Amino acid sequence: MVKYSFQNKVVVITGASAGIGKELALQLAEKGALLALGARNLERLEKVAEACRQKGVAAVAVQLDVADKESCRTFIEKSVEEFGKIDLLVNNAGISMWAYFEEFTDLTPFEQIMQVNYFGSLYCTFYALPFLKKTNGRLVGISSLTGKTGVPTRSGYAASKHAVAGFFDTLRIELKDTGVSVTMIYPGFVATDVRKLAMGSDGKSLGKSPLDETGTMTVEKCVSLMIPAIAKRRRELVMTLKGRLGLWLKLIAPGLVDRIALKAVSKK
């Protein structure tokens, strides 16, 4: 099999101003990809785009709110206007939540997280799909290990990531004969600011991570695992041996996995 090259491939990434999206843009720039980057914070996003340009590739920064359908449509349209095609769409934008369900007095945060994590991926995919069909392109959804199993304090986040997984797993089957592949990524804990920015029961950002981040996977390592999986059109990538073993254990001893999850998240 010929090794896939990202050289001159048009890659569209949501949530590209920080974390996994930013690192993915930088590593793909090293591989010669042409980059259309979207995020809400245009100032930070433009810095990422400029860092990519410094690596010798074309990169465009477009302000994007994935919770807004029209913003997603405009983002995809501008990407195509700039580069003429789309070879890869990475639905990376997302927000998190960290509180027990019974602590909420308002359900607005649940609506917000579903709008960003699930509908944001759905919107961008809807508008990009006609262009991906023309290039036998690649679709990528970013879920989480929490999209495979429930975790206390993550009910809204887990629901949104299960929805993302269900959507893209179904879409993979529907697109079987179109030439468009679908790869699902299931990271564990990665060293980004997503947990610091996670919503608490009041709907506001926590401001700090509720976890001990020691030993957390670096964003560089996470992306270095993602890129080969995308290139090879893998169905899914479940990160870390511990994560894969946990999913196998869930099949044979689900109650034990529940107890481990409950013990791992101490209630304050």
Q: Does 236 reside within a domain?
A: yes
% of residues, the chain, pLDDT over 90: 71
Q: Count of residues for the chain?
A: 268
Predicted confidence at residue 250, as pLDDT, reads 81
User: How do residues 101-134 score in pLDDT, each as one tens digit?
Assistant: 999 999 999 999 999 999 999 999 999 999 999 9
The single-letter code of the amino acid at 155 is S
Predicted confidence at residue 155, as pLDDT, reads 94
Q: Does 151 reside within a domain?
A: yes
Q: Does 2 reside within a domain?
A: no
Tell me the mean pLDDT in the region 239-260: 82
User: How do residues 28-74 score in pLDDT, each as one tens digit?
Assistant: 999 999 999 999 999 999 999 999 999 999 999 999 999 999 999 99
3-class DSSP state for residue 36?
strand
Task: Tell the residue number behind the tokens 């799909």, with chain if given.
Answer: 129
- The range of the structural domain enclosing residue 228 comes to 10-240
Long-range contacts of 129-133 (CB under 8 A, 24+ apart): 129/180, 131/76, 131/80, 131/85, 131/86, 132/86, 132/87, 132/89, 132/180, 133/178, 133/179, 133/180
For the cut 80, the answer to whether the pLDDT of residue 205 exceeds it is: no
Global confidence as pTM: 0.91
3-class DSSP state for residue 192?
coil
Closest CA to 154 of 261, 21, 15: 261
Mean pLDDT of all residues belonging to the chain: 91
Cα three-residue angle 166-168-119, rounded to 5 degrees: 80
Predicted confidence at residue 215, as pLDDT, reads 72
CA distance 263 to 94: 26
Residue 200 burial (C-beta neighbours within 10 Å; 0-12, 13-18, 19+): middle
Closest CA to 172 of 235, 93, 130, 117: 235
Q: Does 248 reside within a domain?
A: no
Paired with 238 in beta bridges are 186
By annotation, the residues acting in catalysis are: 157
Predicted confidence at residue 55, as pLDDT, reads 97
Cα three-residue angle 112-213-24, rounded to 5 degrees: 65
CA distance 24 to 22: 5
Q: Does 75 reside within a domain?
A: yes
How do the residues of the chain divide into helix, strand and coil, expressed in percent and rounded to 5? 50, 15, 35
3-class DSSP state for residue 12?
strand
For the cut 50, the answer to whether the pLDDT of residue 199 exceeds it is: yes
Give Cβ neighbours of residue 210 (< 8 Å, ≥ 6 apart).
98, 153, 195, 198
Q: Does 177 reside within a domain?
A: yes
Q: Does 268 reside within a domain?
A: no
For residue 195, the domain's CATH number is 3.40.50.720
Tokens read off for 23: 């690192």
Total domains, the chain: 1
Tell me the mean pLDDT in the region 141-160: 91
Q: Do 35 and 28 touch, CB atoms closer than 8 A?
A: yes
Predicted confidence at residue 268, as pLDDT, reads 44
